[in-house]
């Protein structure tokens, strides 16, 4: 189900992804904060599905203008133990340890938290780290 929020006019394009880190200082007193930041969860990744044809709104953070958009949490790739990599299964996410900083985006991807309940959509590959092989899976977060 899509979430309604506001993003800067320059970012308001279908397919654009962003991570919401929490409200900035000016947002705390903005009359649109309930719609703009009130619907988003800090630390989560969102993907813009549609830009609504409503007029833009004044915003001190986004060079003056913000647009109304519909967003969803997209699928995210993460490394898991091979025995857990079963498409269609639901698992409680446990991040695996990897000392290779270049692989951090798949071992601790932004937008997911350890302990999240996720559904495995598909297996997309393999990755090695610390002498072990892991499966890279595309997951969707299941909301409690």
Same domain, yes or no, for 48 and 81? no
Which pLDDT score is estimated for 78? 98
Whole-number pLDDT of residue 57: 86
**Cβ-Cβ contacts under 8 Å for 128 (sequence gap 6 or more):** 134
| Measured distance CA(48)–CA(116) in Å, rounded | 22
What domain range is 103 assigned to?
76-141
Residue whose structure tokens are 């279908």? 14
Assess whether 137 and 80 both reside in one domain: yes
Q: Which of 17, 40, 72 is the last residue of a domain?
A: 72
DSSP 30-58: -TTHHHHTTT--TTEEEEEEEE--SPPEE
CA-wise closest residue to 101 among 125, 130, 77? 130
Residue-level pLDDT at 144: 66
**67 and 80 share one domain:** no
Tokens of 11: 């970012």
**Residues in the chain, how many?**
144
Quote the pLDDT of residue 123: 98
One pLDDT digit (tens) per residue for the chain, 144 residues: 899 999 988 889 999 999 999 988 888 888 888 888 888 999 999 999 999 987 788 888 877 789 999 999 999 999 999 999 999 999 999 999 999 999 999 999 999 999 999 999 999 999 999 999 999 999 999 986
- For the chain, what is the domain count? 2
pLDDT at 31: 86
* Residue whose token pair is 């044809």: 53
The answer to whether residues 51 and 83 belong to one domain is no
Q: What is the pTM of this model?
A: 0.90
Please choose, from the candidates 39, 42, 103, 102, the residue with its C-alpha nearest in 3D space to the C-alpha of residue 71. 39
68 and 99 in one domain?
no
Other beta carbons within 10 angstroms of residue 129's beta carbon come to: 17
| Beta pairing, strands 44-51 & 17-20 | antiparallel
Q: What is the pLDDT of residue 32?
A: 86
């Amino acid at each position: 189900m899509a979430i309604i929020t506001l993003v800067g006019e320059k970012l308001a394009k279908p397919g654009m992804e962003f991570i919401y880190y929490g409200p900035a200082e000016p947002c705390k007193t903005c009359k649109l904060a309930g719609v703009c930041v009130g619907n988003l969860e800090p630390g989560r990744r969102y993907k813009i599905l549609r830009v609504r044809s409503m007029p833009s709104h004044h915003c001190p953070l986004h060079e003056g203008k913000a647009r109304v958009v519909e967003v969803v949490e997209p699928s995210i790739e993460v490394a898991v133990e091979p025995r857990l990599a079963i498409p269609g299964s639901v698992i409680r996410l446990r991040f695996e340890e990897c000392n290779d900083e270049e692989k951090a985006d798949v071992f601790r991807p932004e937008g997911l938290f350890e302990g999240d309940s996720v559904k495995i959509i598909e297996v997309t590959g393999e990755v090695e780290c610390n002498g072990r092989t892991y499966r890279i899976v595309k997951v969707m977060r299941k909301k409690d």
